[in-house]
């Protein structure tokens, strides 16, 4: 009996899908595999949004693929086009340069291409671009640090990994300080590689070297975790606050709970993949144009608005 | 197993001259410390020196194990990934049993599990390498990938964090002091002493050197080479687990970036310390100095800003090569 029922159900579904064939669209999503907190957030939000969009648009199939490097990602999008016959591709490239041509090839075959976070070196290969705002993250942070210190004080900076992203953030930060808060002095800038262990080590050495530090700009929440431990160990009370970045849920929670050192955070949200997927789905399903470029601003999170940025189920 | 008397002859005691000449790494460290103090007098403060030694404890303890593996003619590339996996598993286990047992019991259980995982991983390496007859480079390169991706899977790419109460209860293991000395430094010293004793004062230690120096001869001398090798990997695994026991309470979390490139630092510490990469002979105190030297370079670079931060890795490379050269020059002389 049960089998018969299943069979009937199956044939019904088949009939239904045949009827929907005209409006059926396939969207491929190619993202880096979860190798650190932020990319883990990307993978989480991509899968969440897949479920949400497939429910919202019955004719839409979303395929999410992760890749550990550019090479694997290039093969992957080829397969997405050849095997899965995708109509649209949302890609967060591992690296811009090596993926520019593979994405361009898909576009020539008629796939609508949307690039997230890292723009291709040849912008004509992307139909649309959705990204966070790295210089903005630096500027918002600089503004907060300058203002909170009342325009005067000593700041140490912990950088990420030597990349364009890191440079844009630091340049943004310094430009605001130079223009608006010339009495805020940057004591030093060392690389902490966007991880907790290096954040701890670099901060320990800053504490040895500088007897008076007013604020720390760690620009990343993982680095900030290490910084907090180092300050706690040294038992120093001169530091007024530590500003991270990205919007890791543990840090947002601290801001929300009124932590004495983590008074704010600046977002660089992995939810940008959700925004990109939503915009793309809307564009292909309703046949409307999608904005050529969408920049998701970096927002200052303080105690008053932290609840809006707290996602307890996300791994990040 | 029967053993032959007189195996001590396998490694004759080095002559007084060679012993003096082998002080290369120590001289290197001394020179570096003088330069560091000239650049920033804060280097010699008690708190900074204790920071440096505490940091050196992680790599140092692992490197003591690596000294055994390398002297026996093997290599273990997986130590960084193994540390990450042990840290992650340990935290997950402790969080899982959190309700019920008392805090002290949970921490003891977590530590025991860590040591078991470490020893188990070492046993696996040793067995596959000796009984499976696969090159250690390949076996441990394989597990390097396996261990880290299992951790990444367990953590979903994010981080695994110890519960707040547990984290507070466990933190004295890293932050605590005994007689004014941070605990990681004491553990490091104990491991190094024990390692030195085993290597230089026991039959097993001499077997390790004999195996690395000439495996065939050792076999003819009725040394159970297979067993000797397997045990070196178990020692390595235990050392990694011990280092992890000290690492976890520092940040109370493990992530896919935990222990990244520790294998290279550990091997570098061993070689800087004067152990031959091809095996046969080596010394624990050299390894200890090597580990401290590596951490000191990094510390000095953070304490000064005369060199562009873009060149940090280059400075490290230059110092490592100079120290290795000093050691080589002395030996020839």
pLDDT at A316: 82
A203 within 8 A of A230, measured Cβ to Cβ? yes
CA angle B30, B31, B34 (to 5 degrees): 90
Q: Does residue A81 lie in a domain region?
A: yes
Helix or strand or coil: residue B14? coil
Residue B96 in any domain: the answer is yes
Q: Is the pLDDT of residue A17 over 80?
A: no
Asked, for residue A145, whether it belongs to a domain, the answer is yes
How far A224 CA lies from chain B's nearest CA (Å)?
A: 11
**Residue B16 domain flag:** no
CA-nearest residue of chain A to B313?
A191
Query: Which CATH number fits the domain that encloses residue A159?
Result: 3.40.50.2300
> Distance (Å, rounded) from C-alpha B262 to C-alpha B79?
7
Q: How far is the first Cα of chain B from the last one, in angstroms, to the nearest whole number?
A: 42
Chain B interface disruption, residue of A69, A159, A190, A197, most B CBs within 10 A = A197
Is residue A13 over pLDDT 70?
A: no
- With CA atoms as reference, the chain A residue closest to B258 would be A197
CA-CA-CA-CA torsion sign (B219, B221, B222, B225): negative
User: How many structural domains are present in chain A?
Assistant: 2
* Residue A216 sits in the same domain as residue A287: no
Q: Which of B40, B157, B251 has the CB atom closest to A36's CB atom?
A: B157
Query: CA nearest A211 in B: which residue?
Result: B42
Q: For A194, which residue in chain B has the nearest alpha carbon?
A: B257
Flag whether pLDDT at A19 surpasses 70.
Answer: no
Note whether A152 and A226 are same-domain residues.
yes
Closest residue in chain A to residue B176, using alpha carbons only:
A233
Contact (CB<8Å) B302/A201 = yes
Each residue of A251-261: pLDDT tens digit? 999 999 999 99
From B94's Cα to the closest Cα of chain A, the distance in A is 19
Number of domains into which chain B is organized: 1
**Domain span holding position B98:** 61-293
A101 and A38 part of one domain: yes
Length of chain B: 333
pLDDT value at residue A2: 60
User: In chain A, which residues have their Cβ closer than 8 Å to the Cβ of B47?
Assistant: 208, 234
Indicate whether A245 and A280 sit together in one domain. no
What is the Cα–Cα distance from A185 to A177, expressed in whole angstroms? 9
pLDDT digits (tens, 9 = 90+) for A142-155: 999 999 999 999 99
Are both A51 and A94 inside the same structural domain? yes
Of A40, A205, A234, the CB nearest to B302: A205
Return the closest-CA partner of residue B144 out of B84, B97, B101.
B84
The reply to whether B12 falls in a domain is no
| A4 lies in some domain | no
B157 inside 8 A of chain A by CB: yes
pTM of the model: 0.80
CB B267 within 8 A of CB B68: no
Residues sharing a CB contact under 8 Å with residue A247, sequence separation 6 or more, in sequence order? A221, A265, A266, A267, A268, A269, A301, A309
Residue A55 lies in a domain: yes
Please check whether residues A83 and A114 belong to one and the same domain. Answer: yes
State the Cα–Cα distance between residues B17 and B330, nearest whole angstrom: 10
From the list B48, B157, B310, the residue facing A40 with the nearest CB is: B157
Residue A222 lies in a domain: yes
Among B45, B152, B251, whose Cβ lies nearest the Cβ of A208?
B45
* Contact state of A208 with B303 under an 8 Å Cβ cutoff: yes
Chain A nearest-CA distance from B157, in A, is 4
Q: What is the pLDDT of residue B330?
A: 46
Nearest to B158 among A40, A204, A206 (CB): A40
Contact B298 A196 (CB under 8 A): no
Q: Which of B55, B175, B309 sits opposite A191 (nearest CB)?
A: B309
Q: pLDDT at position A4, please?
A: 59
A159 near B CB under 8 A: yes
A165 and A229 housed in the same domain: yes
The reply to whether A162 touches chain B by the CB within 8 Å rule is: yes
User: Do A99 and A186 belong together in one domain?
Assistant: no
Tokens of B54: 């505490």
Q: Are residues A116 and A62 in the same domain?
A: yes
Q: Is residue A260 located within the same domain as residue A150?
A: yes
Q: Are residues A127 and A274 in the same domain?
A: yes
Per-residue pLDDT tens listing for chain B (333 residues): 444 444 444 455 555 555 555 677 888 899 899 999 999 888 999 989 999 999 999 999 999 999 999 999 999 999 999 999 999 999 999 998 877 678 888 999 999 999 999 999 999 999 999 999 999 999 999 999 999 999 988 987 778 888 888 888 899 999 999 998 999 999 999 999 999 999 999 999 999 999 999 999 999 999 999 999 999 999 999 999 999 999 999 988 898 888 988 999 999 999 989 898 889 989 999 999 999 999 999 898 888 877 777 788 888 888 888 877 776 644 443
pLDDT category of residue A69 using cuts at 50, 70 and 90 = confident
Is A82 exposed, middle or buried, given 0-12, 13-18 or 19+ CB atoms closer than 10 A?
A: exposed
Domain span including residue A115: 24-131+270-296
Considering the domain architecture, whether residues A51 and A112 belong to the same structural domain is answered as yes
Q: Which of A66, A203, A208 to mutate to test the interface with B (most CBs of B within 10 A)?
A: A208
HSE, CB side, 13 Å, CA atoms: give it for residue A311: 15
* Dihedral (Cα; B330, B262, B240, B71), 10-degree rounding: -30
Q: Which residues of B touch A250 (CB under 8 A)?
A: 161
**B329 within a domain of the structure (yes/no):** no
State yes or no: ipTM above 0.85. no
Q: Which of B250, B257, B310 sits opposite A229 (nearest CB)?
A: B250
Q: Is B39 on the interface with A (CB under 8 A)?
A: no
In this predicted structure, what is the pLDDT of residue B306?
77
* Residues in contact with A277: Cβ distance below 8 Å, sequence separation at least 6, in sequence order: A27, A29, A46, A49, A50, A53, A62, A90
Task: Give the closest of B152, B303, B310 to A209, CB-based.
Answer: B303
pLDDT of residue B315: 85
- Is residue B56 within 8 A of residue B188, CB to CB? The reply is yes
A233 touching B, CB under 8 A? yes
H helix runs in chain B, sequence order: 16-21, 24-39, 46-71, 79-96, 103-130, 136-154, 164-170, 172-175, 183-201, 203-213, 215-220, 225-251, 262-272, 284-303, 312-332
CA-CA-CA-CA dihedral for A281, A284, A285, A289, to nearest 10: 100
Q: Is residue A312 part of a domain?
A: no
Query: Which of A196, A198, A226, A247 is the best residue to mutate to test the B interface, defined by the most B CB atoms within 10 Å of its own CB?
Result: A196
Please indicate, yes or no, if residue A19 is contained in any of the structural domains: no
Residue B5 lies in a domain: no
């Amino acid at each position: 009996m049960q089998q018969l029922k299943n069979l009937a159900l199956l044939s019904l579904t088949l009939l239904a899908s045949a009827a929907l064939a005209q409006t059926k669209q396939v969207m491929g999503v190619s993202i880096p595999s979860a190798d650190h907190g932020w990319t883990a957030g990307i993978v989480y939000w991509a899968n969440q949004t897949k479920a949400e969009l497939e429910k919202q648009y019955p004719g839409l199939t979303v395929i999410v693929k992760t890749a550990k490097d550019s090479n694997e990602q290039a093969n992957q999008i080829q397969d997405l086009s050849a095997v899965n016959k995708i109509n649209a591709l949302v890609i967060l490239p591992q690296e811009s340069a090596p993926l520019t041509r593979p994405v361009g090839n898909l576009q020539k075959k008629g796939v609508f291409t949307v690039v997230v976070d890292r723009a291709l070196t040849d912008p004509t290969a992307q139909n649309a671009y959705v990204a966070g705002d790295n210089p903005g993250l630096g500027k918002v942070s600089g503004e907060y640090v300058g203002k909170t210190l009342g325009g005067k004080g000593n700041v140490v900076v912990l950088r990420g990994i030597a990349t364009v992203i890191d440079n844009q953030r630091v340049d943004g930060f310094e430009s605001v300080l130079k223009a608006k808060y010339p009495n805020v002095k940057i004591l030093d800038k060392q690389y902490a590689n966007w991880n907790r262990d290096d954040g701890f080590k670099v901060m320990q050495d800053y504490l040895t070297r500088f007897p008076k530090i007013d604020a720390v700009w760690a620009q990343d929440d993982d680095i900030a975790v290490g910084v907090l431990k180092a300050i706690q160990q040294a038992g120093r009370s001169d530091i007024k606050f530590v500003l991270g970045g990205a919007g890791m849920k543990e840090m947002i929670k601290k801001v929300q709970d009124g932590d004495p050192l983590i008074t704010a955070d600046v977002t660089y949200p992995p939810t940008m993949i959700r925004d990109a997927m939503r915009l793309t789905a809307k564009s292909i399903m309703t046949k409307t144009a999608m904005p050529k470029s969408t920049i998701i601003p970096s927002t200052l999170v303080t105690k008053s608005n932290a609840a809006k940025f707290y996602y307890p189920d996300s791994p990040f | 197993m029967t053993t032959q008397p007189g195996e001590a002859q396998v490694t004759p005691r080095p002559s007084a001259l060679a012993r003096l000449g082998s002080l290369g790494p120590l001289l290197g460290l001394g020179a570096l410390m003088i330069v560091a103090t000239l650049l920033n007098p804060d280097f010699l403060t008690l708190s900074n020196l204790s920071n440096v030694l505490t940091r050196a404890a992680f790599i140092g303890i692992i490197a003591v194990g690596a000294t055994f593996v390398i002297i026996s003619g093997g290599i273990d590339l997986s130590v960084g990934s193994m540390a990450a996996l042990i840290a992650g598993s340990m935290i997950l286990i402790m969080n899982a049993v959190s309700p019920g047992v008392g805090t002290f019991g949970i921490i003891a259980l977590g530590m025991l599990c860590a040591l078991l995982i470490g020893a188990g991983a070492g046993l696996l390496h040793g067995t596959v390498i000796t009984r499976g007859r696969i090159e250690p480079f390949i076996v441990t390169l394989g597990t390097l990938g396996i261990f880290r991706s299992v951790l990444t899977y367990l953590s979903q790419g994010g981080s695994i964090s110890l519960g707040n109460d547990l984290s507070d209860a466990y933190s004295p293991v890293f932050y605590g002091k005994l007689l004014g000395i941070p605990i990681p430094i004491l553990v490091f010293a104990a491991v190094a002493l024990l390692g030195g004793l085993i290597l230089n004062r026991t039959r097993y230690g001499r077997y390790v050197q004999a195996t690395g120096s000439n495996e065939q001869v050792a076999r003819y001398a009725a040394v159970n080479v297979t067993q000797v090798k397997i045990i070196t990997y178990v020692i390595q695994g235990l050392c990694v687990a011990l280092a992890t026991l000290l690492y976890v309470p520092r940040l109370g979390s493990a992530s896919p970036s935990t222990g990244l490139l520790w294998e290279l630092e550990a091997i570098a510490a061993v070689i800087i310390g004067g152990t031959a990469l091809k095996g046969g002979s080596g010394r624990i105190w050299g390894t200890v100095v090597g580990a401290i030297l590596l951490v000191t370079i990094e510390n000095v670079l953070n304490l000064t800003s005369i060199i562009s931060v873009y060149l940090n890795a280059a400075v490290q490379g230059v110092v490592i090569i100079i120290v290795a050269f000093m050691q080589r020059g002395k030996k020839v002389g």
